[in-house]
């Protein structure tokens, strides 16, 4: 068994999200991240992102149980062409963690100064958004849940546009009106488009969901050619039908 998949998987709990991805692409949204290892006093910071994993299908059962049984698998070639990158995982008491934190000691967020070269603040934000503790807390319906992040083999896309806010503190994230506006901005400026040839799998929960997604492909994606539509329809698979192989 290969330790990594050649496909990047994105799972969600709702078939409507899969339809939206097929129609408009992947939408980066602000997600809270555990920053308890970080030198500054933030428990959580929200970055705009789209998350994927390259866990082999034979080991993806636990991941699907947690994140949802609907999803899309795209080629790694598409991911690399669109600036996706695997995360770097941080052991909280390691010298690596100390070295990373030392890079941020000169940052003055109140005055927008990084203490390094011009534009280094953007680079530091990008670096921070691709770091995650080996294990930590994830908020689920507002409650913290213990999670072993390292097992998730996560890849991520984080926008670099200067007019997209690079991160939000938890207070800003918890402001539903403000969060909606921030997410609207990322959708407008940073969504990742996909074509039928980029897609290797379209996952639905059960066999009974297949007609719905096939009908959506036939009626809502008519901008594609007949051949491309056939390719998309051939990618649809239910996790119910392959569960014995997972």
Q: Coil, helix or strand for 6?
A: coil
Length of the chain: 246
What residue ranges do the domains of the chain occupy?
7-29+48-86+138-245
Contacts of 245 (CB under 8 A, 6+ apart): 57, 58
Residue 124 structure tokens: 């530091």
Buried b (16+ CB within 10 A) or exposed e, 150-186: eebbbbbbbbeeeebbbbbeeeebeeeeebeebeebb
Q: What pTM did the predictor assign?
A: 0.92
pLDDT single digits (tens) 205-226? 999 999 999 999 999 999 999 9
pLDDT single digits (tens) 94-109? 999 999 998 888 776 5
pLDDT single digits (tens) 124-159? 889 999 999 999 999 887 888 999 999 999 999 999
Does position 244 have pLDDT exceeding 90, yes or no? no
pLDDT bucket at 166, cuts 50 / 70 / 90: very high
pLDDT single digits (tens) 190-209? 999 999 999 999 999 999 99
pLDDT single digits (tens) 106-122? 776 555 566 678 778 88
């Amino acid at each position: 068994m290969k330790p990594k998949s050649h496909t990047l998987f994105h799972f969600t709990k709702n078939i409507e999200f899969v339809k939206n991805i097929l129609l408009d692409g992947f939408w980066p949204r602000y997600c809270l991240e555990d920053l308890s290892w970080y030198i500054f006093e933030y428990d959580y910071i929200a970055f705009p992102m789209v998350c994927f994993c390259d866990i082999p299908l034979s080991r993806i059962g636990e991941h699907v149980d947690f994140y949802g049984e609907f999803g899309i698998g795209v080629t790694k070639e598409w991911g690399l062409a669109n600036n996706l990158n695997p995360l770097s995982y941080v052991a909280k008491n390691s010298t690596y963690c100390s070295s990373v934190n030392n890079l941020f000691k000169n940052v003055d967020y109140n005055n927008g100064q990084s203490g390094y070269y011009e534009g280094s603040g953007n680079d530091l934000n990008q670096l921070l958004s691709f770091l995650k503790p080996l294990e930590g807390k994830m908020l689920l319906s507002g409650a913290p849940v213990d999670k072993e992040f390292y097992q998730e083999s996560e890849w991520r896309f984080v926008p670099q546009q200067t007019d997209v806010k690079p991160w939000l503190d938890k207070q800003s994230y918890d402001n539903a009106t403000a969060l909606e506006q921030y997410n609207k901005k990322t959708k407008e400026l940073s969504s990742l488009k996909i074509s039928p040839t980029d897609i290797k799998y379209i996952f639905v929960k059960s066999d009974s969901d297949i007609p719905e997604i096939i009908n959506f492909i036939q009626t809502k994606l008519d901008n594609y050619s007949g051949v491309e539509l056939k390719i998309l329809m051939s990618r649809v698979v239910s996790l119910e039908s392959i569960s014995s192989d997972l």
